[in-house]
Each structure stands twice: as structure tokens, then as C-alpha cells.
Structure 1
Amino acid sequence: MRNLSILLLVFGFFVSTHAYAGFYIEPGITYEKGDNELEWPTPLGDSTGNTKGLGANLKLGFHYESAFFVGLDGAYSQPKFENSASDYDADAKSTLYGMILGGQMPHIGLRIWGGYIFGGELDPDESGGLDVKFTGAKGPKVGLGFKIFMVSLNVEYMDLEYDDTNIEKAGPLSGEIDNKLKNKLGVVSISLPLTL
């Protein structure tokens, strides 16, 4: 009986606040720059590199009283992937998806959020006979935005680690890659937060 009372109380709360809550969608255009590191097998060894390029982002979620929001977050980009191992230099495709939770001050326009990337991949094209694909992206993300009229200017930071490295073409490599690619990624974006 006590659990039923609590359930009715929670249900009543959400019904009474329904007018103050709603769905939102936020498409955006992004530019990313990342610094990565990976230990390759013999003969390449330790390496560092970077990614940079344009992409798109989509947040889809639920807001409460235009002050708090929670949502799903997905991104697609086509960065240039460069790595010191065998002078790897190739175009790449990147996808990331995760979840965010944040708050905003509607009258001031300041927005802040944090979240976690649950999955994604980075797939550079072949370079110098070597072709790899990084999958299983995971890591935290934080963001800061400022909304001016209908547009939000944003900065995000992600500390990503890719669980698996798949060698699609071995080139000069003589073994498997057991280590994880680490990519510290900064993203600037222009987005359009829309309340439905």
C-alpha cells in the first residue's frame, strides 16, 4: 500500500508539472580537433597524432521548466586522421553516441552539461599500405554553451578511449594491436535548440 501511495504521488507530480516540461531537439554543425596516442606493434612503437575536421551533431531529449535537460547525443564527422606511425595521413569517418544531462539559465543564455560517450568508431582510410579501424569509443564529455536568440554557440571536450583496433590492411605491421587508441577531443559548434 505504501509503494502504491508513493507511485501515485510521483505520478501526480509529473502530471501537475507537465505544462512546464517538454521535448527538445538540437541539431548542430561542428568542428573538432583531437590529440591521440597509440602504441603500435613492431616496428612502429609509440605514436602521437591528431584529428581535425567538420561534422554534425544531434541532441534529442527532454527538458523541465527550460532549466534542466536530459537527452541522447549523437555525432558524425569526417576528420583528417594523422599519426606519426608510418606517417599515417588519411581522411576518416567518425561516429559517436552517448547521453547528456545539463542545466541552463534561459534569461541569461548560459548552458552547461556533462555526459558519457557509450560507443562509436573512428575509421581512417588506408595510408602507406596500412588501414585500421578503431571501435568501441567510451569516455566522459563536458560542454558549455551560450544561447543568443535561437542559436547556441558551444564548446565541448571529450576524453575518449577506443576499446578495439581492427587491422584491415597490415602494411608494415608484424603483430596485433593490443593497446587502445586514446583521443582527447575538443569540439566547437553552432546549434539550434528547438522545443517541441
Structure 2
Amino acid sequence: GARKRARRVREAAWGNGPVDDTGTALQADFTRPEAYPQVNDTPDPFDQPSPDLAWLCHPALTGLPPHEWDTLITTLTTLHDAQRETHLDQRRGRRPRVKGDGTTGRRPVLTLADRLLATLLHYRLGLPQVVIARLFTVTPETINRRLKDIRQLLQNAEHTIQPTEPQLTTLDDLYDFARTAEITLPAEIKSAS
């Protein structure tokens, strides 16, 4: 009855492609569809800010001249890699890691540099986490977790963030501060305000 027909349909589908309700194989075109055009799927370098956030690296916002920024990012990258390996080692139950080509795993939403920028905006300029989340187009929970991670790395690196005046509360405050410091804003921000 129904079970035999279901089995025939299943077997036909496995072996011959599409089938009708009786299990008879249908003619099928087995050519592959055209591949979707690929947008640049090369991940952003983890030690560089995402392209749309690069304007936030300005020393007026970070409080760090370019050479100090580079030094801090290098230090944090080393500490992050060690921290990540320790965490993965604990998750694996101390089993040896199978080394791959380094291209597996989900791409992080925020690079390490993005995370540092978010931390500096929050602790140096006082920008609230919900505002930073909107700027970085992530959830406030993501920003909260990343601030915690970076704060721990900064403590390990013995780097302190000194708050500055003015303390900012909105994106408009940040944009005004950036314009005052003569920072070139991305085009979509210029037209939005």
C-alpha cells in the first residue's frame, strides 16, 4: 500500500532525481544553475576596522596616535589569540586541536579593531551601548559581550582608557564631535544629518 509506494518514491528520488506520486521518474535537468555572483567574500582583516567604520580610528576619537593604535592592536591580537585558544581548549576537553587551513568557522561580525573602537567610544567618550550598537549595526547584547572581552584584554595588556570631555550621548553628538575634529564622515552619514 502506502508504505511500498513511499519506499518506491524515496528510492526513485535517491537514484533517479524527481519522481511523480506513483514513483515514476520524471525527466530532470541535472545541469547546475549559474553560480550567484560573489561579492567580495574575503573577510576583513581581524586587526583592521570594517571599511564602513574606519573613520572612527581618528586620534581625536580614540585618543591614540596611529603608531600607538597599531601597537595596541598588535598586543590585543596576540592576547586575543591566546585567550581564544584557551577557551577552545576548555571546550574540547583538553583534546588536541586538529589544525586546518584557518578558513573554517563563522566570520566574526565585529573585527578586533571594531571591538576596540566600540570600547573606546563607550569608556573614553561615554557613548551608551545602545547607541554604539546602532552605529555598528549589531544588537546591544553583542556590544555588551564585546566590551567585556576587550576590557579583559586591555587589563591583561595593562592599558587604561582615560575618559575625556565632552561625554557623548547620541549619534548626533558623535557626528558633531567628528565634524569639529575635521574627521571625514562616510557619505551616508553626511546626508543623514
Common topology (TM > 0.5): no
TM-score normalised to structure 1 length:
0.20
Structure having the higher strand fraction is 1
| Higher alpha-carbon Rg | 2
Q: Which has the higher helix share?
A: 2
Give the alignment's TM-score, normalised by structure 2. Answer: 0.20
